[in-house]
Amino acid sequence: MDKPITLREELGIAWKIAGIRLRGQMAYRTSFWLQIFGNFFTNFAEVLALFAMFYQFDTLGGWTLGEVALLHGISMIAFSLGDLLTVGMDSVAPQIRSGDFDRVLTRPLGSWMNAATSEFSLRHLGQALQGVLVLGFALTQVEIAWSIDKALLVPVMFISGIALFMALFTIEAIFSFWTVNGVEAINAFTYGGSDLAQFPMHIFGRSLRFIFFWIVPVGFITYYPALYLLEKPDPLGMPDWFVLLGPVITTIFCAVVSWGWNQGIRHYRSTGS
């Protein structure tokens, strides 16, 4: 086959690989469910903290429990699905250290796709499930006047959110091309970003807001869509069209990360022998 592989074919292959690996994991059914439930409960603390907070206060920065729960739900779903789709990125650093990353580069798949599919696990579905429950709860608490533009916003919001977290998890892997000791500091942006995105951004200070809008743009994937859905005025005073910035900034962010990944691949040194 001489034709270069198309993205569509790559996705098809990734899907089949995931299927085969999943079947392998399903052979250990008990362990499979335990992982999912384990993941569900380890993330339960976040939800408890939310309810504990609203046990004390009625609103947070002018937002009710249901409204903040909406942010939580969106962020948790985007974060966990982004994590799920890039599980393989966690193994890039150890693979580089052991030299097994060579393997990723001898296969006829894009290096990113190949690295992302080198591991697969559904345990993050536990957190995603929790996100769905929290989102469901939020929707019983808030009134959303549904319209076509709002309905269209929902898939755009989730897709850019998932893509953004996938890019963030990729950044962690990119650093490992240069330094064999993973730079844990990146976690502050990944995990910190998902935590911040669960709250109305205007309650944070100016510098934190700057970072999480303009450098790691998590603010755009939960906060502005939520404002739009709830038809709340923006205390930060930004215009309405800011809601559209999410997908735009995410696209730019992903393009930069993709460039960085390719630099990393070019820089890859392999190990002796």
- Residues in contact with another protein by CB under 8 A are 1-2, 4-5, 9, 13, 16-17, 20-21, 24, 99-100, 102-103, 105-111, 175, 178-179, 181, 183-185, 266, 268-270, 272-273
Measured from the CB atom, the residue of 103 and 232 that comes closer to another protein is 103
The answer to whether the CB of 39 falls within 8 A of the CB of 114 is no
Place of tokens 């001489």: 2
Min separation Cβ 109 and another protein, Å = 6
Min separation Cβ 115 and another protein, Å = 13
Per-residue CA distances from 62 to 67, 178, 227 (Å): 10, 45, 12
Min separation Cβ 18 and another protein, Å = 10
Measured from the CB atom, the residue of 233 and 272 that comes closer to another protein is 272
Per-residue CA distances from 203 to 125, 134, 186, 222, 234 (Å): 30, 21, 23, 14, 12
As a residue count, the chain comes to 273
Measured from the CB atom, the residue of 206 and 266 that comes closer to another protein is 266
SS (H, E, C) 26-71: HCCHHHHHHHHHHHHHHCHHHHHHHHHHHHHCCCECCECHHHHHHH
Measured from the CB atom, the residue of 102 and 240 that comes closer to another protein is 102
Type of residue numbered 103 = R
Min separation Cβ 9 and another protein, Å = 7
Measured from the CB atom, the residue of 141 and 270 that comes closer to another protein is 270
d(CA 216, CA 172): 13
Type of residue numbered 246 = G
d(CA 20, CA 185): 34
Min separation Cβ 8 and another protein, Å = 12
Measured from the CB atom, the residue of 16 and 232 that comes closer to another protein is 16
Min separation Cβ 33 and another protein, Å = 18
Min separation Cβ 27 and another protein, Å = 9
SS3 (DSSP) at 186:
helix
Phi, psi of 60 (to 5 degrees): -130, 110
Measured from the CB atom, the residue of 204 and 268 that comes closer to another protein is 268
d(CA 98, CA 87): 18
d(CA 121, CA 94): 17
Q: What is the DSSP letter of 214?
A: I
Measured from the CB atom, the residue of 149 and 184 that comes closer to another protein is 184
Min separation Cβ 211 and another protein, Å = 17
Region of 62 (left: φ > 0; alpha: ψ -120 to 50; beta: rest) is: left
